[in-house]
Chains A and B, each alone.
Chain A
């Protein structure tokens, strides 16, 4: 294991992450302008349709929301352009985030997610990637402001409170399992963040009132889709973690605090999927369950490293 660190690359990585934070914030402002001024009339249009629907026979279209971007009568052109700029900025920031991760990885010659700082940076990247990937095929630009602000906050938190100098890692982390287990956990967490953002918006959004947000059904659908993709990935991440523990610690499952919370998170997301399939639990109740699961995920990421001691104590949180 080489112990040398390429300091200039490590510094470049730190600078790229800082720039990424600023770019996410700029993108967030653009999306917000689009939300505030570019969609207002769209909403009026949708509302008109809903009113018609309420009087007549219930047409399915009226209840299933307006996530299909409804051009509506002429929203402010500059505001729509702001939204487009937001997307472009998000892609640039995404590239910066990726660059920050790659340069750090090259600087230390290992997988760049071995401590909490690196892990949080990678999860923010995964969340934005999930958003951008879904954005290619789905009309979810409305989420942009919320996803970018989440990513900016996450990265900012990492830079301010979690940052540690790039460096080599403990022998237990010298394993290809870090590529498998941690990568899966990062991808799943990114998607769960997307679902969590939608679930929070779902609870904020009041039905039957004009809003810049899409209907609750639309929000629920995006959240559900994200969870349906990430749940198997999370399942895989937990299993890969067990396989790694079997190589490194001599048992595949030992109820270490991190394992306990990964398990709790998994069970509560499973409960969410069951809630969806159980009469009386759809909609709001299911969304609340998904948020409980999301809270468990976040607690496992932050709380467990700080409050509990266990074998997973590589987090390397600065004191």
Chain B
């Protein structure tokens, strides 16, 4: 930091001075013909310079942009697959540059790691300097206080002790010397700035740790069914690399009921209003069951493992009787809604146990059915008049091939439609049965259930991340609102000279006001109407408070 009584550099605000010194240092150590140590020093200096930080910040911003342009695997794997289907060559190239995984890509990691190394390399030396600064006494008064950006002189009987006391009362840190008082205030600015930058480092670690020790999983649960928290129970489970099966919180629940309400009429007809899932939860296998209302924005919390309601849909129930008269399937089938406004949903029923041939069905579920010409459509997402259109197939479902199959897709390569296939088969009402052609059996639409999809997460980094973020905001506010300022008072032969200096960019105008108040307090008389009247050297004639005119801020260059 600048020598305290070196006025020229004290007037300039610190980072700039620091930056210049840095630059000079860099110039001196340009790695021409330097040994390895010199190179390392140069690299470190360059990496931790403010300019590099600035460039890395830009790269950081620029690097995240493709993450919003291209679909991301971590956000929506379905859309990535779609992209591969639509533009295979382009997708291959994009994938080579990790553009579908921007935020876990090596190049993105390189940017933020460099940035954070730069940050650490910048912050820790500054923290040491700051600790020294805090311990140091305010610097001695410069020789000519009237040359400071804010200054004033007046006649009076003020003693040094009185001046020191007045400044202490204003919470300045004060030292007294031979004929002068020196006071300084606003150390919290740098403290805040350091707190902010360190908090960012902590935030990065918390996010990283959360990723390693936490997990995330999705599961779909139909009304009446249950879930217990074990890896095998998930439809999709994404553990951090440090998660073991035993570390899963052993809770379980059953979904008793799910209710969705929608706007009934008007322009926004069909817009969802509220979702409510009624659960019976057991926090551990031995715990007493408790009733929980699960809602959006209100997750279930079991010792830090959180269960979120993130989606819902219909699961019509069917009973399939095969050609031999056996009930080969009896239960719900989750359907996916293609259209949120009507909840027209599609599902697949696979009946591998049916005899003599395996049966498969495509079904279209219409929650509120109305006829529309030769067709039927749904006009509302609520289940006011539920029907289902069934498209039956017989043959080989292809389940034995060993290839994993989606439960939402019917592989029709070895299946034959049963009977005449129509695009709009007559829909079945609840309780109605459709006889299958060729004596293959029958299918009954037995009822309507709903399913919910849940996300279950455990992230031990959340709370540390929140604390770090809060610290960052506090640090930021301190660093942006507090001014670092010094005031000196010199008493000689009945003349009191006061000089002031703010070392904070942008603080000049506000400091001018504070400085005037300090001078008024030191004079001990009520706020003067025209303080320039008794100013011995006049100062600038159009500036009532000496150099401290509101617009004049030479301390900012």
Enumerate chain A interface residues (CB-CB to B < 8 A): 1, 3, 5, 59-61, 64-68, 165, 167-168, 170-172, 174-175, 177, 218, 221, 224-225, 228, 231-232, 235-236, 239, 242-244, 246-257, 260-261, 263-264, 267-268, 270-271, 274-281, 296, 304, 308, 310
Contacts and interface: CB of A to CB of B under 8 A. Distances in A.
A279 B14 CA distance: 11
A250 B268 contact: no
Contact of A271 (B57, B65, B466): B57
B297 A247 contact: yes
Given A60-B547, A64-B552, A271-B54, A171 B68 contact: no
B466 A243 contact: yes
B550 interface: yes
Given A271-B58, A279-B16, A60 B554 contact: yes
A244 B19 CA distance: 39
Contacts of A172: 296-297
12 contacts: A60-B553, A61-B542, A61-B549, A64-B551, A66-B551, A168-B271, A232-B476, A235-B476, A248-B308, A263-B64, A271-B58, A279-B23
Interface string B494-522: 00000000000110000000000000000
Contacts of A261: 68
B473 A247 contact: no
A267 B462 contact: no
A277 B50 contact: yes
A61 B552 contact: yes
A68 B480 CA distance: 24
A254 B210 CA distance: 13
B508 to A, nearest CB: 9
Contact of B473 (A224, A232, A242, A275): A232
B165 to A, nearest CB: 31
Contacts of A275: 54
Contacts of A224: 506
B229 to A, nearest CB: 14
B70 to A, nearest CB: 10
A104 B551 CA distance: 43
A65 B550 CA distance: 11
B505 A231 contact: no
A221 B552 CA distance: 12
B551 A255 contact: no
B554 A228 contact: no
Contacts of A218: 551
B67 interface: yes
A171 B264 CA distance: 15
B75 to A, nearest CB: 6
Contacts of B216: 250-251
A167 B267 contact: yes
Nearest to B478: A232
Contacts of A251: 216, 457, 459
Contacts of A271: 54, 57-58, 61
A172 B462 CA distance: 21
Interface of B: 15-16, 19-20, 23, 50-51, 53-54, 57-58, 60-61, 64-65, 67-69, 72, 74-75, 102-103, 149, 207, 216, 261, 263-264, 266-268, 271-275, 295-299, 306, 308, 310, 455-457, 459, 462, 465-466, 469-470, 472-473, 476-477, 480-481, 505-506, 540, 542-543, 547, 549-554
Nearest to A263: B64
| Most central of A67, A225, A228 by chain B CB within 10 Å | A228
A172 to B, nearest CB: 5
Contact of B551 (A61, A235, A246, A280): A61
Nearest to A224: B506
B549 A256 contact: no
Nearest to B60: A267
A43 B207 CA distance: 55
A242 B64 contact: no
A61 B540 contact: yes
Contact of A267 (B61, B103, B547): B61
B272 A239 contact: no
| Most central of A5, A59, A60, A257 by chain B CB within 10 Å | A60
Contacts of B273: 1, 3, 168, 171
Nearest to A277: B15
A231 B476 contact: yes
| Most central of A264, A280, A281 by chain B CB within 10 Å | A264
Contacts of B554: 60
Contacts of B53: 274
Contacts of A246: 462
B552 A60 contact: yes
Given A170-B272, A253-B207, A232 B480 contact: yes
A249 B102 CA distance: 21
B19 A279 contact: yes
A209 to B, nearest CB: 19
A228 B510 CA distance: 14
